[in-house]
């Protein structure tokens, strides 16, 4: 026979369980109609077939990253044949292209849905007339004044960036370094790369080096191998990082040869940039699996973008799906004030609301850090909902993820 206290405890437990269940069901309802890559797989296959016909390619070409790179679409007439642009849309894209370069890999282009105007892939890759609106800076992070050696950006005591190329598989319309894109693909010259590596070697406090660009995996296998080998042989360099979006925009680049190179230089951390669940496809999963098999540790640095991922359920779904392919959500970057990208910027409050929608509502491993890059190259500032209401010597007053106020002892006597 159950005691009254046992019955009460069971009642309270069931009531609490039902309350939590309602939170979970609300999220499932919100994501029910969110189109995933698997939902548009047939549509993407049809688009792929059409792209191959127009570009006169074959099935074996599709899996060749060099063919993908050579056949990036950067012409409105070709793009119009593939997705059905109006003449006005083509004129607007051509107008923007006089100020800002664009190019899309055939693979990434195949992910654009039939209703392309509101498609997250289309918005990230195809020029928009709003890019010509005034405002913003070409170098909001002041990288030009934080470069003590060629190709180097340094803002922190123990780590730095080596910018090795301006080349990407697809030129994101929200790119923070669009000033470097230029009109042609260009890797850093050997002399500058050597100078950057010499700088690392001469500064023994540097323990962490990020190789990026552009996209670090746009380098040739030989140059990538050279840079990693050189860093591996510098005693004070503890970890090497690569910044790349190819798992998202050109997964064919993750070849057995690239994986063999990475395998030789542990520990290597790779940060990529998935911004929407639609970008997580069987091809991108296969690329991530191969990188993990080569010993790389994968993280994701999403950018908060208006009209693409600025809804709490979209960002949470993205992070859930990333964990399913073994990519840890690392950062959500507040979009920088880059010239020509104002239409992508959200309020900071939007980002804080997204963070609030995750803490407690999903597992901690699925929650990245929301980051604002301080203007002028002053570094990253983590932003989060304020759970600390009061701090005194005796106590700390806190707010839980549900908004309940609790007090805890501060100094233990």
Q: What is the pLDDT of residues 30-49, one digit of tens each?
A: 888 887 766 778 889 999 99
Mean pLDDT value of segment 263-272: 98
| Residue-level pLDDT at 144 | 78
Average pLDDT of the chain, as a whole number: 93
Task: DSSP for 103-165, please give it.
Answer: -B-HHHHTT--SSGGG-HHHHHHS--GGGGSS--BS-TT-GGGS-SSTTEE--SSSEEEEE-B
Is the model's pLDDT at 183 over the cut of 80? no
* Residue 1 pLDDT > 70: no
Q: What is the mean pLDDT of the segment spanning 156-178?
A: 94
Taking 90 as the threshold, does the pLDDT of residue 120 lie above it?
A: yes
Structure token pair of residue 109: 């282009």
CA 152, distance to chain mean position in Å, is 22
Confidence of residue 343 (pLDDT cuts 50, 70, 90): very high
pLDDT above 80 for 409: yes
Domain ranges of the chain: 1-33, 41-114, 143-383
Whether 213 and 169 have beta carbons less than 8 Å apart is answered as no
Q: Which token pair is 337?
A: 């004030």
Q: Which of 34-38, 151-155, 333-337 has the lowest mean pLDDT?
A: 34-38
DSSP state of 35: P
Q: pLDDT at position 39, please?
A: 72
CA angle (189, 66, 69) in 5-degree steps: 80
Q: What is the pLDDT of residues 20-29, one digit of tens each?
A: 889 889 899 8
Note the pLDDT tens digit of each residue in 61-91: 999 999 999 999 999 999 999 999 999 999 9
CATH no. for 143-383: 3.20.20.70
Residue 58, pLDDT > 90, answer: yes
Model pLDDT, residue 161: 96
- Given this model, what pLDDT does residue 413 score? 63
Structure-model confidence comparison of residues 56 and 12, the more confident one:
56
Query: What share of the chain has pLDDT > 90, as a percent?
Result: 79
Element (H, E) at 210: strand 208-212
Q: Which two tokens stand for residue 411?
A: 């100094």
DSSP letter at 276 equals S
């Amino acid at each position: 026979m159950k005691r009254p206290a046992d019955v009460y405890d069971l009642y309270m437990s069931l009531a609490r369980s039902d309350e939590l269940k309602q939170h979970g069901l609300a999220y499932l309802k919100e994501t029910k109609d969110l189109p995933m890559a698997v939902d548009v797989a047939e549509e993407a296959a049809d688009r792929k077939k059409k792209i191959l016909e127009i570009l006169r390619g074959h099935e074996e070409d599709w899996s060749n990253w060099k063919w993908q790179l050579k056949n990036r679409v950067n012409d409105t007439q070709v793009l119009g044949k593939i997705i059905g642009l109006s003449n006005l849309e083509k004129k607007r894209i051509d107008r923007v292209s006089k100020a800002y370069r664009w190019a899309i890999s055939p693979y990434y282009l195949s992910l654009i849905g039939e209703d392309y105007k509101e498609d997250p892939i289309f918005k990230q890759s195809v020029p928009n007339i709003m890019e010509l609106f005034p405002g913003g800076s070409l170098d909001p992070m002041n990288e030009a004044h934080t470069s003590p050696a060629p190709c180097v950006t340094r803002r922190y005591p123990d780590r730095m960036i080596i910018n090795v190329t301006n080349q990407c598989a697809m030129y994101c319309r929200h790119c923070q370094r669009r000033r470097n894109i230029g009109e042609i693909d260009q890797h850093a010259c050997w002399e500058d790369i050597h100078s950057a590596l010499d700088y690392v070697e001469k500064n023994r406090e540097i323990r962490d080096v990020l190789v990026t660009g552009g996209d670090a995996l746009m380098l040739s296998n030989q140059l990538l191998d050279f840079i990693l080998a050189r860093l591996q042989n510098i005693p004070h360099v503890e970890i090497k990082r690569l910044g790349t979006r190819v798992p998202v925009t050109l997964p064919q680049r993750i070849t057995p040869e690239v994986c063999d190179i990475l395998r030789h230089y542990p520990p290597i951390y790779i940060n990529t940039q998935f911004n929407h669940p639609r970008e997580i496809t069987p091809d991108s999963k296969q690329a991530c699996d191969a990188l993990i098999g080569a010993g790389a540790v994968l993280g994701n640095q999403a950018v908060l973008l208006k009209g693409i991922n600025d809804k709490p359920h979209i960002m949470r779904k993205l992070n859930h799906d990333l964990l399913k392919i073994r990519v840890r959500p690392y950062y959500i970057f507040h979009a920088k004030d880059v010239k020509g990208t104002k239409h992508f910027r959200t309020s900071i409050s939007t980002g804080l609301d997204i963070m609030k929608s995750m803490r407690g509502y999903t597992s901690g491993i699925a929650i990245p850090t929301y980051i604002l890059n301080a203007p002028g190259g002053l570094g990253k500032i983590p932003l989060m909902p304020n759970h600390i209401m009061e701090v005194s010597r005796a106590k700390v007053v806190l707010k839980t993820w549900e908004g309940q106020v609790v007090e805890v002892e501060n100094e233990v006597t």
